[in-house]
Structure 1
Amino acid sequence: MRKFLILIALLCPVLIYAQKKKGPPTTFDLLIGTYTKGKSKGIYVYRFYAEKGRLEYLNEIDGVSNPSYLTVTNDNKFVYAVNEDGKQGEVSAFKFNARLGKLEFINNQSSLGADPCYISVDKDQKNAFIANYSSGTIAVLPINKDGSLANGIQSMHDDGHGINKERQESAHVHTAVLSPDEKYLLYTDLGTDKLHVTRYRPGKESPLTDAKPPFVSVTPGDGPRHLVFSNDKKRVYLLTEMGSNIHVFDYDGGKLKEKQTISFLMPGFKGKTAGAAVHITPDGKFLYASNRLETNTITAFAINEETGELSQVDQISTFGKNPRDFAIDPNGNFLVVANQDSDSIFVYKINKETGKLNLLQGKLEIGNPVCLKFTPAE
């Protein structure tokens, strides 16, 4: 009996340590992409302390022109940024030291289009996918083993247009999102009111081919912009920029079936609006959408666990102008909003039971922040 008690005493510190290690991470890196036309110099990295929602400056890299959208590789070693510079669009690759929050430039390549505004990378880090807004193209750039980008190998384009002659005179691709199993790539086209679906085969000379059917259409003039898959992989939530709606689709093996459309405008609102970003909490209970121009809000929706349909639970000011992007911390406790045209970032506490947001005190001043990405701090 005595030997057993001694053994328990020796094991207790180990068990306590193991229990502590199993808790959620307490620190993350927050990467901030910007437009460099004003006060910003490039990409900024802040340490995010997840217990209190506090941000602390770590590092920055300048000389990066208009890195308006970023993505981080699955192994957390590389970061890729679009360079949204008109007709001469490019994409830049960086090594990333997560412990120091340090970025080191590797190389850049043509985005095969004008005004690249979105980039994603597959989990195996074989290819990067770029949405070129002004030229209306989706492009594929291979990734080398050292993280550098190779010349683009494929570009796809839709010759269509929409009913709004000012905004939809031609195709305008806005996102490029892989399905959870990475067998399909979905991309939005604001100019043609389509959500395209392509089959992805990474080893092929042309990795993307049209699925069957190759797209679904939304309400004319709605302007598809961003999308997110549900945590259970059964639904796609599509945000539209011009209509400020969320379209809910059932998803199964590259096939989409619309089941709900819900607005995130205030009742009776008649002013200028521009939906921006959409994200879901890690627990899958709530969806948030940002809106710009004369709205400047974040709207919260509860997600029905059985049907996936949405019901609004909250709408709150972003206390700034044009919240182009926001991010939810990986623990699901905080939401961080970037106000592009007021050079400000704010942090909100998420009520995990209701989905409602409470603004924390303090403002982070960053020139033209337009993209926020959380990643583990090693």
Structure 2
Amino acid sequence: MQASGHLRFLVGTYTDSPSQSRGIAQVGLNQQTGELIRLDDYYPLRNPSYLIQSQQLTYSFSEVSQQDGAQLVCLDGQHAHALPIAGDYPCHMAISADKKYLAVANYGSGNVSIYSLDSQGIPLASVADLFEEGQGPNQDRQQSPHAHQVVFQQTEPVLVSVDLGSDAIRFYQIEDSTFTLSQTVAMPAGSGPRHLVFNRAEDKAYVVCELSETLIVLHKTNQGWQVQQQVDLLPGAEKGEAASAIKLSDDERFVYVSCRHQNVVSCFEVSGEEVKWISMNDAGGLFPRDFTTTSCGEWLIVANQHSNNLVSYRRNKVTGSLEASGYQCHVDAPVCVVEANISWVC
């Protein structure tokens, strides 16, 4: 029997000591109350720090060095399909709109690994490896490229790579399994871009910069992508070089960003001509590494890596404001949370 009013979430974790996590965890959400319930683990895997779903498949990887066995894993419910990753410490992945390719961003080695997918979505082989030299002024964090995110655009055959190490966002045109660099957007020196989200029209992008703790708006023009605006994530607050996740509400009115140093989630109104900061909420724990909004738009779930907990917030779809539900659940070292494509079955 399927539980009415319940959602299921998959949680990527770090499993290396001192964490007691064993792989991809599962959590249920009561949509009426916000109660979070720990479910049975989904799949055992070392350091599955990021995951995505497509159709009935789940994709993850082991965030370790290539020498220690970095691998891409595709789960189809009964079987696990694994391929080695030619890179160090993979941290993000994405699937192309035509379902032909899967890209992996490797933070440690700075390259992006591209895999072909069969008609069922199972990875077949590596078909491209993208690497661009670069560095930034932050001597502790930017001595080499650090690919932190990959995004396939939905309206045209383009792969976007966000590189924290070289303060760059790169656009690659895709044609016949060839990925050609078409534009590099230079971000402010030392900003350390981490993740971005596009609007549905894909003529605007919102970039969270980890090191400068700023939100940067990119606008697509006839001359390509350009920086349009830059605002602080937390006006007047002490900075800690630790901004992390970013999400755009489904109605494209609000952007949310988690700030790990300050342990808060910041909210911006983005429907006007300029982005405006409107509020912040305590993350309910330490080091909010990731969060997600539910498909219904009514809840926001935060994964706090250092306090080992997930916390739920009721979201006002009109004002964008968040209200803590009072519920949380324990998961060791949670670093990614995604709503599962199948509801919680009890």
Q: What TM-score comes out, normalization by structure 1 length?
A: 0.84
Does the alignment pair 1:127 with 2:101?
Answer: yes
Residue 256 of structure 2 is aligned to residue 282 of structure 1: no
Unmatched 5+ stretches in structure 1: 1-24, 97-103
Runs of 5+ in structure 2 lacking a partner?
none
Contact 1:296/1:318 (CA < 8 Å) preserved in 2? yes
Describe the superposition over 1:320-378 as per-residue Cα deviations: whole angstroms up to 9, x where unpaired: 11111100001111110000111010001112222111111121100110111113326
Residues 216-261 of structure 1: CA distance to partner in whole angstroms, max 9, x if unpaired?
A: 1111000010000124433100111101111101136893122110
What is the one-letter code of the residue matched to 1:247?
Answer: I
Given the alignment, which residue of 69, 77, 94 partners 2:50? Answer: 69
Alignment of 1:200-215 (within 5 A): 200-201=174-175, 204-206=176-178, 208-211=179-182, 214-215=183-184
Please state if 1:229 is matched with 2:229.
Answer: no
* 1:55–1:123 distance in 2 versus 1, CA, 3 Å: farther
Residues 367 and 292 of structure 1: is their aligned pair in 2 closer, same or farther, counting only changes over 3 Å?
same
- The SS at the match of 2:76 is strand
Partner of 1:297: 264
User: Which residue identity does 1:91 align to in structure 2?
Assistant: L
The two structures have a TM-score, normalised by structure 2, of 0.91
The 2-side partners of 1:210 and 1:52 are apart by: 48
- Contact 2:148/2:164, CA 8 A, preserved across alignment: yes
> C-alpha separation between the residues in 2 aligned to 1:253 and 1:322?
40
Pairing 1:3-22 to 2, within 5 Å after superposition: none
- Cα deviation for residue 184 of structure 1 reads 1.0
Ranges of 4+ aligned residues in structure 1 off by more than 6 Å: none
3-state DSSP of counterpart to 2:291? strand
Structure-2 residue corresponding to 1:48: 29
Counterpart Cα distance in 1 of 2:322 and 2:139: 38
CA RMSD of aligned residues (A): 1.9
2:112 paired residue number: 138
Deviations 1:159-203 (A, max 9, x none): 1111112211110000001112142111111111001111123xx
CA deviation after TM superposition for structure 1 residue 87, in Å = 3.1
**How many residue pairs end up in the alignment?**
336
The one-letter amino acid of 2:307's match is S
Structure 2 counterpart of 1:61, one-letter code: Y
Offset, 1:26: 4.0
Counterpart residue number, 1:15 = none
Q: Check whether the contact 1:313–1:354 (CA below 8 A) recurs between aligned residues.
A: no
| Bigger relative CO (Cα 8 Å, ≥ 6 apart) | 2
Which of 1 and 2 has greater Rg?
Answer: 1
Aligned sequence identity (%)? 27
**Alignment of structure 1 residues 324-335 onto 2, 5 Å:** 324-335=289-300
Quick one: distance in 2 between partners of 1:143 and 1:298? 36
Alignment of 1:147-226 (within 5 A): 147-201=121-175, 204-206=176-178, 208-211=179-182, 214-226=183-195
| 2:88 alignment partner, one of 95, 107, 114 | 114
Q: Which residue of 2 aligns with 1:250?
A: 219
* Structure 1 stretch displaced more, 219-228 or 230-239: 230-239
